[in-house]
Amino acid sequence: MTMYLDQAILETLQAQTARHRSNYQALVNETLQQMTLPDSISLTIDSLRRMLREEFGRHDAKPHGQ
């Protein structure tokens, strides 16, 4: 299959691939798959990182032993 994408989209995906040292084709497929999932279960790398920071931040604020 041949697919034509906007140059800006290609550059964004290529930059993400380089930044995360991931596979370009896998990132394209993951991005397209996320677009087909219902919003309630869609999870991005950025949203996962944010949730982990929030969760670990809560645990870091507690004194050790509690």
pLDDT tens-digit profile of 34-53? 778 766 566 678 888 888 88
Max CA pair span of the chain: 58
Distance, C-alpha 63 to centroid of its chain:
32
* 64 confidence band (pLDDT: 50, 70, 90): low
Mean pLDDT of 12-19: 86
Is the overall model pTM greater than 0.75, yes or no? no
Separation of alpha carbons 66 and 49, rounded Å:
25
User: In the predicted model, is pLDDT for residue 26 greater than 80?
Assistant: yes
* 61 confidence band (pLDDT: 50, 70, 90): low
User: In the predicted model, is pLDDT for residue 62 greater than 80?
Assistant: no
